[in-house]
């Protein structure tokens, strides 16, 4: 796990977007695992800007989203399908059949969750998985106690997650308590993982993710087991980390080796 301490979320978004765009140039049929929420929005803005400027071509890209609320129709303002359409897919040129979400409506959900896993495998696996992290350590909607080997399935959302997301719903509007989500095992199958976390409210979660024990009670800690994960934190999110100076030195040395052509 590589830790990148940035001066701001904007700086981190620039790093993440650049990595995705470089990967896209190397592999036009890139398979992306995508996240929702406020954290990745600045990354998505940069990807859309690159497409608009003719600097990127997403027409062969295939996408798989982490999660979706159960029983919210695709056009609902709070559905993640709507979020992705507004913040990324509009104007990006990805054919609809190349965009995938875990099942969220209708019957046979268990089988359709397995079908989602099969679709990821059929696409050749996820090349780059974007992640945010909840204050209780959830990644996707893998709440505490989720198995590290879990696959795409239906999860009950914890009270803290519901409270954190309640601000997106109008007063009196019913908030879903169930969601479909990639499992932790599904996430760990990605070849590359890019995690972002910003702000003081994420500082305790960041410390537990990076420097705490690997535990199903803190799902994001499972990322310590992945061989190619980079975490991007701003000063507020990283302020409780014990080894910040070491992380900065490691990053600087890696860059120096790359600049000298030795990597």
- Is 159 tagged catalytic? no
The pLDDT averaged over each successive group of 10 residues in the chain (263 residues) is 95 97 98 96 97 97 97 86 95 94 93 98 98 95 96 91 66 78 98 97 97 96 98 96 94 89 83
- Is 253 tagged catalytic? no
Catalytic residue among 87, 117, 138, 234: 138
- Is 76 tagged catalytic? no
pLDDT digits (tens, 9 = 90+) for 33-86: 999 999 999 999 999 999 999 999 999 999 999 999 998 888 888 899 999 999
Sheet harboring 31-34: ordered strands across?
Answer: 2-5, 229-233, 192-197, 128-131, 31-34, 62-65, 99-100
Residue 221's DSSP bridge partners are: none
Catalytic residue among 42, 68, 127, 143: 143
Q: Which helix (H) or strand (E) holds 174?
A: none
Catalytic residue among 42, 67, 117, 127: 67
Residue 41: its pLDDT value, please?
97
Size of the chain, expressed as the number of residues it contains: 263
Helix (H, G, I), strand (E, B) or coil at 11: helix
Cα(25)–Cα(23) distance, rounded to whole angstroms? 5
Those residues with Cβ within 8 angstroms of residue 189's Cβ, 6 or more apart along the chain or in another chain: 120, 125, 126
pLDDT digits (tens, 9 = 90+) for 110-129: 999 999 999 999 999 999 99
Catalytic residue among 68, 136, 142, 234: 136
Answer for the pair 143, 157: CB distance below 8 angstroms, yes or no.
Answer: yes
Answer for the pair 5, 244: CB distance below 8 angstroms, yes or no.
Answer: yes
Going along the chain from its start, the domains and CATH numbers come out as: 2-259 (3.40.50.1360)
Residue 4's DSSP bridge partners are: 232
Cα(86)–Cα(48) distance, rounded to whole angstroms? 11
- Is 136 tagged catalytic? yes
């Amino acid at each position: 796990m590589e830790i990148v301490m940035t001066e701001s979320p904007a700086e981190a978004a620039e790093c993440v977007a650049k990595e995705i765009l470089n990967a896209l140039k190397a592999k036009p049929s890139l398979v992306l695992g995508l996240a929702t929420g406020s954290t990745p929005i600045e990354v998505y803005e940069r990807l859309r800007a690159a497409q608009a400027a003719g600097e990127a071509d997403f027409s062969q890209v295939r996408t798989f989203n982490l999660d979706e609320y159960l029983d919210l129709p695709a056009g609902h303002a709070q559905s993640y399908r709507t979020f992705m359409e507004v913040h990324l897919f509009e104007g990006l040129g990805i054919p609809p059949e190349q965009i995938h979400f875990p099942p969220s409506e209708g019957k046979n959900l268990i089988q359709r969750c397995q079908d989602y896993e099969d679709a990821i495998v059929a696409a050749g696996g996820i090349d780059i998985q974007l992640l945010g992290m909840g204050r209780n350590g959830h990644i996707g909607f893998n709440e505490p106690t989720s198995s590290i080997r879990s696959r795409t399935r239906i999860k009950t959302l914890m009270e803290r997650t519901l409270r954190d997301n309640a601000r997106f719903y109008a007063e009196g509007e019913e908030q879903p308590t169930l969601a479909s989500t990639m499992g932790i095992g599904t996430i760990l199958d990605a070849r590359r993982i890019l995690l972002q976390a910003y702000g003081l409210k994420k500082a305790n979660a960041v410390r537990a993710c990076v420097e705490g024990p690997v535990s199903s009670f803190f799902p994001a800690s499972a990322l310590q087991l992945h061989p190619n994960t980079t975490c991007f934190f701003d000063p507020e999110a990283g302020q409780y980390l014990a080894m910040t100076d070491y992380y900065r030195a490691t990053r600087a040395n890696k860059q120096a080796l790359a600049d000298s052509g030795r990597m």
